[in-house]
Structure 1
Amino acid sequence: MNFRSASIALLVSISLAPVARGQQDAVPRYQDADGEEIFGPDYQPEPAPEKGLPLYIGRPNAGISAPDSLLLLPQDSFRQMTETWSLPTEDLRRQLPSDVPLLRDVRRGFQVWQMPRLTPNRQSPAPAIDPTAEMKVHYVYVGQGAGAIVELPCGVAVVDLGGEFGGGSGSVDGGALFGAYLKAFMEQRRAYSNKIDVVYLSHPHADHINGTKQLRESGITVDKVVDNGQTSNAGSAGKQTEFRNWATQGDLKHRYSAVELARQVTATGATNAAIDPFSCATVTAFWGGANEKLAIPSYSNPNNHSVVLRFDFGQASFLFMGDLEIDAAKDMLDQFDENTEVFDADVLQLAHHGATNGIADGLLKVVSPRIAIISMGDKTSTGDKSAWGHGHPRIQSLSILQDDPVTVGDMRPSAQTFWGYQNQEESPKDFAVSRAIYGTGWEGTIIVTANQSGQYTVSGAPGH
């Protein structure tokens, strides 16, 4: 089907040269060799001064689940406070269940006799409440970037608001494209009362937050915001901070959640009333802001601070990776080493628009997706921020997804020939796609519909 025609000192290098004064604000202060905005000596994010809602123990429909007795216990209860452990009471310390999945750095803090052990206790998924109920995820075409709308029977969420920006032949305004699609979406669905229940910003990069301006001017209201907590008054982290404050109207304690690595304790992920405001689905957050790792060269890139999100709707599951690159994906799997099955999901939005550094073999093996979605631009744009400028998607990535051993489980209804890049700023090459791999730059906006029995259909947006 065809839907659409070392340390901070190491950062001071040629690839991290400051941008000259007087250039437009859209130009980042520091860039890597691929032209992506990165953190530098005088552009460092701070943790969110107000963390918002406390993080609770996640319970996604995969992997090992935490016992019911602990679901109301904030994860902060298990965090190391200086040299001591801050459990609410000595009685609770003695009664700590043996089947709480805790991350490695937390487990090290317990005495041997106290160390929680993992016991697989997940039961079969609950039967569908309503076999006719459906959720839809709209992976919106925004040029080179990402933005998605999650349409649920009980509410609506937005995952990133980005899109292509900058000049070049055929370039598009991705923020405007997402804003227009979102506005039309709301006009056609009056039951949502022109309100988004939660906006998730995976990380502060323009191609993921470029539509914040359009949302602010749309008249659509936002109830809650979730991001990686990175805070600044400059760069894209400044835009993330500004949007957070605008959307919550300053009520960060009740309408916001910072998903920071340092706040996460259990290897079942994190949740709260901002991360998961829905009665008909389960949303779990993983990873996020890791400012404590900024001295590691790969963590100078905001991509590696991406919030990873999982949506469960009955037996249907969707995973959003932001732009998490291979190094951070390996670190994430290391943190969840005894419960990596928590990432096993059916529909995967590929990290980093199909770049080779977004294809982590270990993670793909764990996720074992049935369907893969690539949010990227099309080949008609030749700006430096376009799919052509970045060389996305890479043919190497497409081959990994499709070739033996098979990564993407489902097949397309019929094979089609699309395109990819061997390298950035090169002519695209044809690539035959037979597996269920879909790209917004190939086909326009992609809508994945799921019922609670875990059955999926893939289509294009009407009129696209």
Structure 2
Amino acid sequence: MILRSKSLALFAVFSFATAVVAQEDGAPRYQDVEGEEIFGPDYQPQAAPEKGLPLYIGRPNAGISAPDSLLLLPQDSFRPMSGTWSLPNEDLQRQLPSEVPLLRDVRRGFQTWQVPRLNPNRGLPAPPADLGAEMKVHYVYVGQGAGAIIELPCGVAAVDLGGEFGGGSGSVDGGSLFVAYLKAFMEQHPSYSNTIDVVYLSHAHADHINGAKQLATSGIAIDKVVDNGQTSTEGSVGKQTDFRNWATEGDLKHRYSAVELARQVTATGATNAAIDPFSCATVTAFWGGANEKLASPGYSNPNNHSVVLRFDFGQASFLFMGDLETNAAKDMLDQFDENTEVFDADVLQLAHHGAEDGINDSLLKMVSPRIAILSMGDRTSKGPQSGWGHGHPRLDSLSILQDDPVTVGEMRSSPQTFWGYPKEEVPTKEVIINRAIYGTGWEGTIVVTATQSGQYTVATGQGH
């Protein structure tokens, strides 16, 4: 259902280099029955006119592994584009190896297995680093929303910049909380030269990108940007578009990557020098902008256009789901039906802050996480964009995560009593958490430390 808001809440076009004009708090132009921004008749995302770097075949540490020789070729090499190739002789053709898993829609479209031979222009993955090295993921408390810092021996990244916004008793400015934590982090880690190697924006919703305006004036430099490619001059997509242009200083061809479903070919995910600028880790992107599905049920919600990210650090693995809802998660598994094991990971940031529509049983079974993270608000805030306003985390979601059949593999050192919501805008109820399920609204910023041998430790209570 699409509702016309009295407040247009237009996002003004601006230059980040001179001034930042924030999207007004309050109702977006179009919203669903839960008050969440959605696309409408005159608010439709366009594909990025400049896609940035070409997508290459991902090679995460799970599922089927593509041959080394194919990692040098852009994914566009494998598209059925018979009307655009010019092949003067048979020497410029080669047979597509049968062992390469392809997305379902792409495989169906092939009339022949022959594709052009292209010159490689991407290096092979670096060899594994010291197994004793550590990475840390800081799941920052930002109220109802998401923002994380990926701390690696060879660099640093941010996954989403958002957090709670708007009025209401006890509400917080999640974007400011995230950037304040990031600035303190940079001060404590001078080796990173006050520079983020890459900022990943999962999708254009305020609770995931509202820290953009504070980051733009923080003095912290940004080298590369990855998002779902959706482009507009209005709404949160407008905010995403202008952040991408500001952060890359207009050099989109070399410092940006659009992760769009239509650009992906192989069921091993996508990568390039923006998605994965790190020598000590492997980063793979999945899904992202699916503008071709806008007329399908559920795809008017930006949640279902989330970029899904996987980080591999030796034998350690982290998966970030954005806000991908159950219907899009099902579609993603259908596309990756030849290689669903690619989503098997140890640490899972759950989609949509513990909402019921962020829990997909089939995907959870495939991920089989050892540790689950909820980026969520606390119960003191009563604003419309708070955990209370949305009813996150839902008690039913928590039950799915830890009741039989068990989803989260590891146990807490001792059971803890926390809380969840039966539904939105009602009092919380206590719940005992005995599995390794952690929530920023329960425990503040959560820092998960991983070694390359796949050992994890969890620290809570930071910055809340």
Structure-1-length-normalised TM-score: 0.92
Task: Provide the secondary structure at the position in 2 that maps to 1:318.
Answer: strand
* Deviating 4+ runs (over 6 angstroms): 84-89, 112-115
Cα 1:87–1:147 change in 2 (3 A) is farther
Whether the 8 Å contact between 1:137 and 1:150 is mirrored in structure 2 is yes
Match of 1:183 in 2: 183
Q: Which amino acid aligns with 1:316?
A: A
Q: Residue by residue, what CA displacement relative to the aligned partner does 1:220-265 show, whole Å, maximum 9, x if unpaired?
A: 0000000000000000000000100000000000000000000000
Whether the 8 Å contact between 1:150 and 1:159 is mirrored in structure 2 is yes
How many residues are aligned here? 442
Match of 1:340 in 2: 340
Q: Which runs of 5+ in 2 are unaligned?
A: 11-22, 116-125
Q: Does 1:424 align with 2:411?
A: no
Q: Which amino acid aligns with 2:263?
A: R
Match of 1:79 in 2: 79
Match of 1:105 in 2: 105
Whether the 8 Å contact between 1:448 and 1:459 is mirrored in structure 2 is yes
Cα 1:395–1:81 change in 2 (3 A) is same
Find the aligned partners of 2:182 and 2:432 in 1 and give their Cα distance: 32
Find the aligned partners of 1:233 and 1:84 in 2 and give their Cα distance: 32
Single out whichever of 75-84 and 327-336 deviates more from structure 2: 75-84
C-alpha displacement of 1:463: 5.7
Task: Provide the secondary structure at the position in 1 that maps to 2:419.
Answer: strand
C-alpha displacement of 1:113: 7.0
Q: Residue by residue, what CA displacement relative to the aligned partner does 1:356-412 show, whole Å, maximum 9, x if unpaired?
A: 000000100100000000000000000010000000000000000000001000001
How is 1:434-453 mapped onto 2 (pairs within 5 angstroms)?
A: 434-453=434-453
C-alpha displacement of 1:85: 7.0
Q: Which amino acid aligns with 1:80?
A: P
C-alpha displacement of 1:130: 1.5
How is 1:155-304 mapped onto 2 (pairs within 5 angstroms)?
A: 155-304=155-304
Match of 2:16 in 1: none
Find the aligned partners of 1:399 and 1:74 in 2 and give their Cα distance: 43
Task: Provide the secondary structure at the position in 2 that maps to 1:176.
Answer: helix
Whether the 8 Å contact between 1:78 and 1:85 is mirrored in structure 2 is no
Whether the 8 Å contact between 2:129 and 2:280 is mirrored in structure 1 is no
Match of 1:10 in 2: none
Q: Which amino acid aligns with 2:3?
A: L
Cα 1:84–1:331 change in 2 (3 A) is farther
Cα 1:423–1:85 change in 2 (3 A) is farther
Q: Residue by residue, what CA displacement relative to the aligned partner does 1:87-106 show, whole Å, maximum 9, x if unpaired?
A: 99854643321211111122
Match of 1:25 in 2: 24
Whether the 8 Å contact between 2:131 and 2:314 is mirrored in structure 1 is no
Find the aligned partners of 1:17 and 1:82 in 2 and give their Cα distance: 44
C-alpha displacement of 1:18: 3.6
Q: Does 1:16 align with 2:3?
A: yes
Q: Residue by residue, what CA displacement relative to the aligned partner does 1:155-181 show, whole Å, maximum 9, x if unpaired?
A: 000000000001110000001100100
Cα 1:18–1:79 change in 2 (3 A) is farther
Find the aligned partners of 1:259 and 1:53 in 2 and give their Cα distance: 10
Structure-2-length-normalised TM-score: 0.92
Q: Which amino acid aligns with 1:323?
A: D
Single out whichever of 451-460 and 126-135 deviates more from structure 2: 126-135
RMSD: 2.0
Q: Does 1:153 align with 2:150?
A: no
Whether the 8 Å contact between 1:77 and 1:88 is mirrored in structure 2 is no
Find the aligned partners of 1:462 and 1:394 in 2 and give their Cα distance: 24
Single out whichever of 353-362 and 74-83 deviates more from structure 2: 74-83
Task: Provide the secondary structure at the position in 2 that maps to 1:81.
Answer: coil
Percent identity of the aligned residues? 81
Task: Provide the secondary structure at the position in 2 that maps to 1:185.
Answer: helix
